[in-house]
């Protein structure tokens, strides 16, 4: 089960941040939701769609 307890802090150009926030608002998602989506898609692209089994249930693979 995924838990939302870790914080990720990043630095970004203020103009890009403003554009990103505006675009997210136009899609009715928060910037945090969109960043989580980007991260999930990146992980799946690198590790495949079953990555959660390895991360969240590592003992089941043994």
Divide the 62 residues of the chain into consecutive groups of 10 and give the mean pLDDT of each group: 79 98 98 94 90 74 50
pLDDT at 13: 97
End-to-end CA distance of the chain: 19
| Residue 1, in any domain of the structure | no
| Residue 4, in any domain of the structure | no
State how far the Cα of 16 lies from the Cα of 34, in Å rounded to an integer: 14
State how far the Cα of 46 lies from the Cα of 36, in Å rounded to an integer: 15
- How many domains does the chain contain in total? 1
Q: For 30-46, how does the pLDDT look when each residue is reduced to its tens digit (9 = 90+)?
A: 999 999 999 999 999 98
Cβ(59)–Cβ(49) under 8 Å?
no
| Residue 42, in any domain of the structure | yes
Q: Report pTM.
A: 0.75
């Amino acid at each position: 089960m995924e838990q939302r307890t870790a914080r990720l802090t990043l630095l970004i150009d203020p103009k890009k941040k403003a554009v990103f926030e505006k675009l997210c608002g136009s899609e009715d998602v928060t910037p945090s939701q969109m960043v989580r989506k980007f991260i999930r898609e990146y992980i799946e692209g690198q590790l495949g769609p079953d990555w959660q089994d390895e991360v969240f249930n590592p003992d089941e693979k043994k």
